[in-house]
A = this chain, B = another copy of it.
Amino acid sequence: MRILLTNDDGIYAKGLAALYTSLSAIAECLVVAPEVEQSAVGHAITISRPLMVREVRKNGYFFGYAVTGTPADCVKLGVKELSNGPVDLVVSGINRGANVGINVIYSGTVSAATEGLILGIPSLAISLDSHREADFTFAAEFAKRFIQMIAKRPVAGVALNVNVPALPAEEIKGVVVVKQGRARLVESFERRVDPREHVYYWLAGETLVAEDEAWDSDASALKRGYITVTPLHCDLTRHDMIEELGKRISDVLL
Q: Are B236 and A45 in contact (CB under 8 A)?
A: no
Known contacts A145-B253, A149-B253; is-contact A242 B47 (Cβ 8 Å):
no
Query: Is A37 at the interface (CB under 8 A from chain B)?
Result: yes
Partner of A175, one of B47, B187, B239, B250: B250
Query: Is A126 at the interface (CB under 8 A from chain B)?
Result: no
Q: Are A236 and B238 in contact (CB under 8 A)?
A: no
Q: Are B242 and A232 in contact (CB under 8 A)?
A: no
A201 and B146 alpha carbons, distance in the complex (Å): 34
Q: Are A80 and B44 in contact (CB under 8 A)?
A: no
A106 and B70 alpha carbons, distance in the complex (Å): 12
Look across to chain B and name the residue whose beta carbon is closest to the beta carbon of A110: B236
Interface residues of A in 169-197 (CB under 8 A from B): 174-180, 184, 187-189, 191-192
Q: Are A175 and B254 in contact (CB under 8 A)?
A: yes
A235 and B146 alpha carbons, distance in the complex (Å): 24
Look across to chain B and name the residue whose beta carbon is closest to the beta carbon of A156: B241
- Of listed A44, A198, A253, residue having the most chain B CB within 10 A: A44
Q: Are A200 and B157 in contact (CB under 8 A)?
A: no
Q: Which of chain B's residues have a CB closer than 8 A to the CB of A248?
A: 149, 153
Interface string of A214-248 (1 = CB under 8 A from B): 00000000000000011111111111011101101
Query: Is A83 at the interface (CB under 8 A from chain B)?
Result: no
The stretch among A12-20, A48-56, A88-96, A132-140 that forms the contact with chain B is A48-56
What are 9 A-to-B residue pairs whose CB atoms are below 8 Å? A44-B44, A51-B189, A80-B187, A81-B191, A102-B234, A146-B253, A158-B238, A175-B253, A180-B237
Enumerate chain A interface residues (CB-CB to B < 8 A).
37, 39-48, 50-54, 70, 72-73, 76-77, 80-81, 102, 104-106, 111, 114, 118, 145-146, 149, 153, 155, 157-158, 174-180, 184, 187-189, 191-192, 198-203, 229-239, 241-243, 245-246, 248-250, 252-254
